[in-house]
Structure 1
Amino acid sequence: MSQTKNNRRDFVKKSILGTVGGVVLAGSNLKAETLPFAKPADLKLAFAGYTFKNFDLDETIKMIQKVDVNYLCIKDFHLPLDSTDAEIASFHKRLADADIKGYAVGPIYSKTQEALDIAFDYAKKVGVDMIVGIPSIEDLPYLDGKVKEYNIRFAIHNHGPEDKLYPNATVIMSHIKDLDERIGMCFDIGHNMRDGHDPVADIKKYKSRIFDLHLKNVSKAEADGKTVELGRGVIDIPAVVKMLAKTNYEGHLAMEYEKDMKAPMAGIAESVGYYRGVVDALG
């Protein structure tokens, strides 16, 4: 890692600890606590590609580099489903040159079996081992066969009270509990909270089937709650991080920032800084 990147990371950490850290983190009783399990610093911070829906790949890469994050869940507006092998190779090179890895694809809305076929073929060509998606409930048996055929995991995304299929983690689990263990969830803690469910409790309860996690905060635990900067909402982010460490979570924490999406950089930087302050305080 270059000295410039080290300096930037040190600045972000010191800023968050010196400004909001003394208030928010002290309130969570983190400073003197030693955790007898996996270290929060080992958790992998990433971005959900949807964060950058208003930006092309070059702009997206520049923003990700500014906050020194190294993982991206690939959205099809950056790498279309019908991309050629050459286009996929070029895409990966552009990420690699920026020290970023595309670790999964999605979310992909897969309302038919044909759409699931396309999603799995796409993931195989892209070279990732996980699809984040939203399949029809009636196609779950078909999905069960696809994960066995391709050995690619499928993480179902919950979208809150507006989502008639998968509003929260509990509903997802009720549908997949008897299916192949390569079918799990991309757990969106914000949407889960808006649907009245505790994300910390659900991480503990469903840990074995949480493959990916959308990291965000919301203004209130109601349907009309809005995404806000990570340290400003009603979700106890330090408690989320502690539970992920305690359960030895091995997936990514994909930050999905949906406020000011045409000019998100200030909120992204604040949120990443807050997260790193929490991780530093936990030790």
Structure 2
Amino acid sequence: MIGNATWSRWSLVPAVVLTTCPAAMAQRAIPEESKIGGFAIGCQAYTFNRFTAFEAIEKTALAGGKVIEFYPGQSLSPEQPDLKVGHEAPAEVVAILKSKLEEHGIEAVNYGVVGVPEDEQGARKVFEFARAMGLRAITTESVDAIDTLEKLAREYDVAVAFHNHPRRPDDPDYKVWDPKFVADLVEGRDPLIGACADTGHWARSGLEPVECLRILEGRVISAHLKDLDEMGPRGHDVPFGTGACDIRAVLDELEAQGFEGNLSIEYEHDWENNVPAVGQCIGFVRGYAAD
């Protein structure tokens, strides 16, 4: 653990100090042992945002998940709540986090949703964190930074996935809710630039998730997989297969597209006790593969 004195010392230096050699490492494939029925499935740590990152790892393992996607700002552990996960963290936090992941057999795959600045120096911090953690992708909605994101994605061989929140009727400038906008945004870009498909937020926008996936065919890097009790803005998360999002058809479409990314369960309901529901979601994917 990092004591308070160590934290004070490291808070004075740049976050995650690593080599910035120009040679890019190959984009990391998700290991087969981190998959269930051919899908790399686990949790977006935001599912457990009432808890720490350590507890999110533990709960992901308890639910049967194999992978995790971290988000910026989550407290590291109950013992060190003032330490935060993310690209502003000191290098020791990365080491501690990786040790905890290894302890529970969980693979870290993504980081986001994170805002990325257009300036290369600021954006590079995010990619350095991704490299340090051995991540496959960064999840963002920073469309204005796409040129910088593409340049650094190539340099670091870390993919960039544009994520969708629900449509905002009062904010016409918010466009990533629309898969057609994202498809046009990434057209002609490096294959490392694509989409993070949030099925629940599409449903909250009144869109059919399978149709959205088809619009983004070949560009789906990762998914925030959700099933909702009803279509529309009032829908809330329910276990896969019990809601309106037709998760079986979603998995069929991803399989047909040769999807190789991760499925992050982002269960935004029953926040204090959602491990059983997450376990049901993972069980649905396991059962899908057995059919």
Provide TM-score, normalisation by structure 1: 0.78
Equivalent residue number for residue 146 of structure 2: 140
| Candidates 70, 73, 84, aligned match of 2:69 | 73
1:114-173 superposed Cα distances (whole Å, 9 cap, x missing partner): 6533322321232323111120x3322232222233322111111121371311322211
| Candidates 117, 135, 139, aligned match of 1:128 | 135
Change (3 A) 1:161 1:111: farther
Q: CA deviation at 1:277?
A: 2.5
Structure number with the higher strand fraction is 1
**Which deviates more from structure 2 when the two are superposed, residues 97-106 or residues 147-156?**
147-156
Q: CA deviation at 1:261?
A: 1.2
| Candidates 229, 235, 241, aligned match of 1:225 | 235
Change (3 A) 1:141 1:41: same
Q: Does 1:235 align with 2:274?
A: no
User: Contact 1:207–1:249 (CA<8 Å) still a contact in 2?
Assistant: no
- Secondary structure of the equivalent of 2:93? helix
Q: CA deviation at 1:111?
A: 5.1
Q: Structure 2 regions of 5+ residues with no counterpart?
A: 1-34, 77-84
- Secondary structure of the equivalent of 2:162? strand
Distance 1:216 1:71 in 2: 16
User: Contact 1:168–1:191 (CA<8 Å) still a contact in 2?
Assistant: no
Distance 1:263 1:219 in 2: 18
Instruction: For 1:154-169, list aligned pairs within 5 A.
Output: 154-162=160-168, 164-169=174-179
Equivalent residue number for residue 48 of structure 2: 52
Change (3 A) 1:235 1:122: same
User: Contact 1:73–1:106 (CA<8 Å) still a contact in 2?
Assistant: yes
User: Contact 2:47–2:267 (CA<8 Å) still a contact in 1?
Assistant: yes
Q: Does 1:181 align with 2:188?
A: no
Distance 1:54 1:158 in 2: 22
User: Contact 1:172–1:185 (CA<8 Å) still a contact in 2?
Assistant: yes
Distance 2:136 2:58 in 1: 25
**Which deviates more from structure 2 when the two are superposed, residues 205-214 or residues 78-87?**
78-87
Aligned residues, how many?
A: 242
Instruction: For 1:1-283, list aligned pairs within 5 A.
Output: 41-76=37-72, 77=74, 78=76, 79-110=85-116, 112-113=118-119, 115-135=122-142, 137-162=143-168, 164-281=174-291
- Secondary structure of the equivalent of 2:37? helix
Change (3 A) 1:148 1:194: same
Change (3 A) 1:274 1:151: closer
Distance 2:203 2:41 in 1: 20
Q: CA deviation at 1:112?
A: 4.6
1:194-242 superposed Cα distances (whole Å, 9 cap, x missing partner): 2222221232332311000111111222223222222221111111111
Distance 2:114 2:177 in 1: 16
Change (3 A) 1:279 1:111: same
Amino acid at match of 2:160: F
Amino acid at match of 1:171: F
Amino acid at match of 1:66: L
Between the two structures, name the one with larger relative contact order (CA 8 Å, sep ≥ 6): 1
Structure number with the higher helix fraction is 1
Distance 1:224 1:251 in 2: 29
Distance 2:98 2:151 in 1: 29
